[in-house]
Amino acid sequence: MLNASLHVETSDPIAPVHRRTFGSFVEHMGRCVYTGIYEPGHPTAGPDGFRRDVADLVRELGVSTVRYPGGNFVSGYRWEDGVGPRDQRPVRRDLAWHSIETNQFGLDEFMSWCRTLDIEPMMAVNLGTRGLAEALDLLEYCNHPSGTRLSDQRAANGHPSPHDIRMWCLGNEMDGPWQIGHLDARSYGRKAAQVARAMKMADRDLELVVCGSSGSSMPTFGTWEATVLEEAYDAVDHISLHAYYEEHDGDLASFLASAADMDGFIESVAATADAVGARLRDPKRIQLSFDEWNVWYLSRHQAEAAVHPTDDWRIAPRVIEDRYNVADAVVVGNLLISLLRHSDRVTAASQAQLANVIAPIMTEPGGPAWRQTVFHPFALTARAARGQVLRTGLTAPGHGTERHGTVPVLDAVATHDEENGTVSLFVVNRSTDEPLTLDADLRALAPVAVTDAQTLSDEDPYAANTLETPDRVVPRPAEETRLEGGRLSAVLPPVSWSVITLSTGVS
């Protein structure tokens, strides 16, 4: 059996736990919107067409923010198509995902959905086929109280109060050749800066996210961030990061170490942003918005698309509906550990996407909704992570991987909610075949009892939840967990993610 230890430091917390870390993403792609969150006529749908069974799962998931409406979709989107009487909305082709967009769900429906679930919207503007004028129009429609053409149009459409959207994304993945309206870094940086400055003239308290690289493997990674920020540093507040991970060729060990790549990605972008700020002599610190992340079997999707190309334009086709297994859930839990560990710089994040499309929630049209395996670590982390993120020292055996070199077999992060007297420890055993005994020195926090301990694992790391067996994989009590004299001991199964919550006796 493997052995590892950790200790926590209380004198110098990393940062507060940001509720925006637990964001999600809704794009007009596949069945994320139509037959996902929105399905008029479904047995659970209300008069607004929102699926209540899905809404209940979104609440359980603990989603705090949702980025909308894309994604690649936004670079060809006309927001005006999705407001006003539904029988007058145009039907258009979506070039990004090669589908038909009916526009029956649009901006106002999204905002109503957010309000019913107490979710903060993160709105993306189209900087692919559109630009400054259209972004300002959208901002006026959303945020101006009344007395102008577009604010009065919003009121006439049934929304007299402003939507008051605070966080805005300036386009999407503009470094990618696949993006409609793709630009080089200098051109995009200037366009984004121009739009950002004008938007803040209209509403000075906005938080604006400029596009970083769409992945750390992009050939322009690093130089893209530096060039874009040279143009827009003074006008924006965040720069975006996007990353997706998958198991390649049966290399489970490398896949389980994916968070090591996320760690390096975050630290590289933060260093680049700080270097630009230093050159510009600007004291402002650019924060990071990791507004697309997840497990996505992209290579499988690309291979299928190459073998089965289609010219069939369909409404809400079934695309990229990955079925997630135990190993995928363990990786998602570990990616959340990485995001929390970097809470001093990552102040917002969006798991992509929310329903059906590489999603924690799956649905059937007219039928049930269920939780994928990746639902559970997200929901439990969103529920348990409170207060401050603490620095955690680890001592663990090395774990060799082909893609990421040698990484610790254990990864962990701790949070401390001093006000409510709780400590939560999130831990991953990356070993593919050996259990791990953990000794955690928590004496600095004076814990008095373990109040909850749950582990997600299975003898079959490829076990999954399906329509037929929606609860095949669920978190189970971590029975081999003990607390004595401020030291916690636990046995972590191979390929496992666990959360252990303790009381400090202070409330």
Q: What is the pLDDT of residues 39-95, one digit of tens each?
A: 999 999 999 999 999 999 999 999 999 999 999 999 999 999 999 999 999 999 999
In a domain, 79, yes or no: yes
Judgement on whether residues 374 and 403 belong to the same structural domain of the protein: no
pLDDT (0 to 100) of residue 506: 66
Cα distances from 275 to residues 280, 483, 505, in angstroms, run: 9, 45, 44
Cα distances from 476 to residues 83, 230, 453, 456, 496, in angstroms, run: 45, 49, 8, 6, 11
Positions marked catalytic: 173, 292
Instruction: With beta carbons less than 8 A apart as the criterion, state whether 258 and 318 touch.
Output: no
Over residues 454-458, mean pLDDT: 98
pLDDT band at 507 (very low <50, low <70, confident <90, very high): low
Judgement on whether residues 355 and 454 belong to the same structural domain of the protein: no
The answer, yes or no, to whether residue 282 has pLDDT greater than 70, is yes
Give the C-alpha separation, 157 to 141, whole Å. Answer: 11
Judgement on whether residues 295 and 403 belong to the same structural domain of the protein: no
Over residues 444-471, mean pLDDT: 97
Q: What is the pLDDT of residues 481-494, one digit of tens each?
A: 999 999 999 999 99
The answer, yes or no, to whether residue 17 has pLDDT greater than 80, is yes
pLDDT band at 307 (very low <50, low <70, confident <90, very high): low
Which residues 6+ apart lie within 8 Å of 96 measured at CB?
Answer: 29, 70, 71, 72, 73, 75, 76, 180
Look up the CATH number of the domain holding residue 252.
3.20.20.80
In a domain, 496, yes or no: yes
In a domain, 333, yes or no: yes
pLDDT (0 to 100) of residue 301: 80
In a domain, 14, yes or no: no
In a domain, 66, yes or no: yes
The answer, yes or no, to whether residue 302 has pLDDT greater than 90, is no
Judgement on whether residues 298 and 406 belong to the same structural domain of the protein: no
Judgement on whether residues 446 and 374 belong to the same structural domain of the protein: no
In a domain, 348, yes or no: yes
Judgement on whether residues 278 and 225 belong to the same structural domain of the protein: yes
DSSP string covering 412-457, please? EEEEEETTTTEEEEEEEE--SS--EEEEEE-GGG---EEEEEEEE-
Look up the CATH number of the domain holding residue 408.
2.60.40.1180
Q: Which of 384, 405, 420 is the last residue of a domain?
A: 384
Q: Which of 338, 362, 384 is the last residue of a domain?
A: 384
Judgement on whether residues 335 and 404 belong to the same structural domain of the protein: no
Q: Which of 350, 384, 418 is the last residue of a domain?
A: 384
Q: N- to C-terminal Cα distance for the chain? A: 38
pTM over 0.85: yes
Judgement on whether residues 413 and 470 belong to the same structural domain of the protein: yes
Range of the domain at 400: 2-9+388-503
What is the domain count for the chain? Answer: 2
Judgement on whether residues 322 and 403 belong to the same structural domain of the protein: no
**What are the start-end ranges of the H helices in 164-210?**
185-202
Judgement on whether residues 270 and 191 belong to the same structural domain of the protein: yes
